[in-house]
Amino acid sequence: MRSKRVVIYGRVSTADQSHESQLREVREYCARRWADSAEVITITDTASGARTSREGLDRLMKLVRRGKVDVIVCYKLDRLGRSLPHLAQIISELDQHDISLVATSQGIDTNQDSPAGRLQMHVLIAVAEFERSLIVERVRAGQAAARAKGVKFGRPATLWKHRERVVSLLQQGISCRKVAAQTGLPLGSVFNISRTLHQPSNGEALPTSISG
């Protein structure tokens, strides 16, 4: 029977901190549980938990996607994920690849071979997704409140700054395409300006051709 492929993951936030205390407990756990029946490697990061991309975590997830991992063991879940939504993303991917997650100090073991393990996996995913939905709702509520106060979202409109020059060029009979090339504006923006212009007094429509 193939040996279990176990990856120990550890993270500290700064270079002043040491991985040793958390890794010692995790390694002792692995020795008790699998003895010599598992292939165990250790991956560590020295990075803030707020960073989504970390060298060690990226390496770990590459092994996951290549089917090179059976179990990931860490000291606490917050060593792995930067937030509940981020952790939900990781756990969901582990679930898709039938990989167990163990957090030794929290009594978490999502071993897919046991009903309790599957339940823990589903609870973790549900809690993290619930937190993510709360964040989305809070953002939307904040935006709605800001709009009620007259705050506008999105990039500020700057097309009006170029309108006078665009109108002048169009009135000279220059095509929309050439006006766009001269002003550096998108062709669609120039065409929109041309469509808003009134008919001149001689009754002839301003040129709106987009041909060269």
Residues labelled as active-site residues: 13
* CA–CA distance, 212 with 207 (Å, rounded to integer): 12
- H helix runs in the chain, sequence order: 20-34, 55-65, 84-96, 115-148, 160-171, 176-183, 187-196
- DSSP class of 98: T
- DSSP class of 113: T
Which residues are CB-neighbours of 102 under 8 A, at least 6 positions away? 29, 71, 72, 73, 74, 108, 109, 110
Residue with tokens 């665009």: 166
Residue with tokens 């390694």: 27
* CA–CA distance, 127 with 136 (Å, rounded to integer): 14
Percentage helix, strand, coil for the chain under 3-state DSSP, each rounded to 5? 50, 15, 35
Residue 78 is encoded by which pair of tokens?
């917050």
As a residue count, the chain comes to: 212
